Amino acid sequence: MEEAQRKAKDVQRGAADVRRGTDEAQRKAEDAQHGEDAQHGADDARAQVARQEESLHRLEETLAQVQTDLQTTKQHLDDRERQYTALEAAYRKTTHLLEMRTAELQGAQRYLTKTDGLSDTEVLRDVERINATILHDATSIADSVSFERSADRALPADPTALTQLLGVRMVELLQKVSHHGDPFCVQLALQACMAAFAKDVLPMWTTQSENDAFLDTVYAGIWEHAAYEETQAIAGRWRALARSYLHGQLRERGAIAELHHWLAALVVQILRLAGAAGTEQEVSHVVSVRHTERLRSFIDICIDVNKSIGEGVLSADFKVLSVDCGSGFNEDIMKDDYGSAVSMGTGEEVLCMVAVGIQRLDKQDDGQRRAITLLKPGVALDSITSELTWEEDSSERKVEGRSPS
């Protein structure tokens, strides 16, 4: 296009030069006609004019051709521009379609994958980490508080939640046992509190119990009504997808704050019931200042394991195992973490649960579930209370060999 335009300008300049030459020759011819001996010069001038006119005619023809070529080139450029625009639109459409198909394939891949992202060994290690954190944090919190030597401690205004959590026997021990100098009983109560907290958080879908009940019902329906050979594949993928979308709610700042408030309030109630020195506000301040990060870290661990067992395994389900306070001890389904020397074994009453257990549930060919216990829940037996010193006793209690076995 630029070359054609340049050529047209050159032709136009040449035509202008020819016109000027023609005009000059014409002027000379007219001047020659006024002289007596200038006939020959006039003939030459007329011949020159004729040649100039012929050159001008050829240049005008060339200019016309160049202009025609220029118009054709412009038309070609317009056609190419339209083709480019059409190709660009087609490219954008193809790219958008490719992005849509890629997203669809990525979504389908989540359904097609058959491999678990987490092994039983890793699940077991995660739950053992929770239990180790429970023991460490409960010991640290109990040791960080001073306890008064008062004989009776008042129950909270509404003791229902605490009694349901710890059992009547543990509540009595917190009120009557001397914790001054050896807060072992307080440690057990805090372990029971944190173990119960983990038992509730690990299987959570959301922080709303009514929503969890509904989702549990939906999941059970999917598992039960699909064809036997497809049951676990369908149910496992649905559960993993639902958990992946809902997990963000557990990680929201408000949800974390709610869980922390719940756990911290229970810790304060236990310490107050055990006779922690200071007012309720002072005890709350101690827990807040010294143990907020500890409790938040424990909550984070529980939520991480919630994600692992809810999303990381498709071929099976995991059930958190727990033991109710006051139930009979059965070594087949629970473990005495403190191995009391006076323990009478099976049939003895459980004082409290101090560590959660985990069970793997596999689907059999007949559609039934097979339960494989990876870790038994840990308990402290009521017989351990024989080693505690009651407040009215004058001697100091001395307990040996009480570390979890």
What's the confidence (pLDDT) of residue 397?
A: 40
Say how far apart CA 330 and CA 169 lie, in whole Å: 19
In a domain, 254, yes or no: yes
Among 39, 62, 96, the domain boundary falls at 96
Instruction: Based on the fold, state whether residues 278 and 156 are members of the same structural domain.
Output: yes
Q: Note the helical H segments in 202-339.
A: 209-225, 231-251, 253-273, 280-311
In a domain, 103, yes or no: no
Give long-range contacts, CB 8 A cutoff, 24+ apart: 7-14: 7/66, 8/63, 8/66, 8/67, 8/70, 11/59, 11/62, 11/63, 11/66, 12/63, 14/59
In a domain, 46, yes or no: yes
In a domain, 183, yes or no: yes
What's the confidence (pLDDT) of residue 373?
A: 93
What's the confidence (pLDDT) of residue 311?
A: 87
Instruction: Based on the fold, state whether residues 194 and 242 are members of the same structural domain.
Output: yes
Instruction: Based on the fold, state whether residues 369 and 236 are members of the same structural domain.
Output: yes
| Tens-digit pLDDT string for the chain (405 aa) | 666 566 656 656 665 665 666 666 566 555 555 554 555 666 666 676 677 677 767 777 777 787 888 888 888 888 888 899 888 988 999 888 888 888 777 766 655 555 677 888 999 999 999 999 999 999 999 999 888 876 456 666 667 778 888 999 999 898 888 888 889 999 999 999 999 999 999 999 888 888 888 988 888 887 777 555 456 777 788 888 888 888 777 777 788 888 999 999 999 999 998 888 888 888 899 999 999 999 999 999 999 999 999 888 888 889 999 999 989 999 899 999 987 644 455 568 999 999 999 999 887 766 677 889 999 999 999 888 877 766 554 344 433 345 565
Q: pTM for this one?
A: 0.69
Instruction: Based on the fold, state whether residues 238 and 362 are members of the same structural domain.
Output: yes
CA angle 109/112/117 to nearest 5° reads 85
What's the confidence (pLDDT) of residue 3?
A: 62
What's the confidence (pLDDT) of residue 362?
A: 82
Domain that includes residue 170, residue range: 119-387
Total tally of structural domains belonging to the chain: 2
Instruction: Based on the fold, state whether residues 133 and 25 are members of the same structural domain.
Output: no
What's the confidence (pLDDT) of residue 394?
A: 37
What's the confidence (pLDDT) of residue 317?
A: 87
Instruction: Based on the fold, state whether residues 138 and 189 are members of the same structural domain.
Output: yes
Instruction: Based on the fold, state whether residues 357 and 322 are members of the same structural domain.
Output: yes
Instruction: Based on the fold, state whether residues 71 and 162 are members of the same structural domain.
Output: no
Instruction: Based on the fold, state whether residues 232 and 379 are members of the same structural domain.
Output: yes
Say how far apart CA 231 and CA 227 lie, in whole Å: 6
In a domain, 171, yes or no: yes
Instruction: Based on the fold, state whether residues 91 and 124 are members of the same structural domain.
Output: no
User: Hey, how many other C-beta atoms are within 10 angstroms of the C-beta on 214?
Assistant: 13
In a domain, 393, yes or no: no
What's the confidence (pLDDT) of residue 399?
A: 37
Instruction: Based on the fold, state whether residues 6 and 71 are members of the same structural domain.
Output: yes
Residues 6+ apart with CB under 8 A from 270: 162, 166, 174, 186, 189, 190, 193
Instruction: Based on the fold, state whether residues 344 and 219 are members of the same structural domain.
Output: yes
In a domain, 394, yes or no: no
In a domain, 337, yes or no: yes
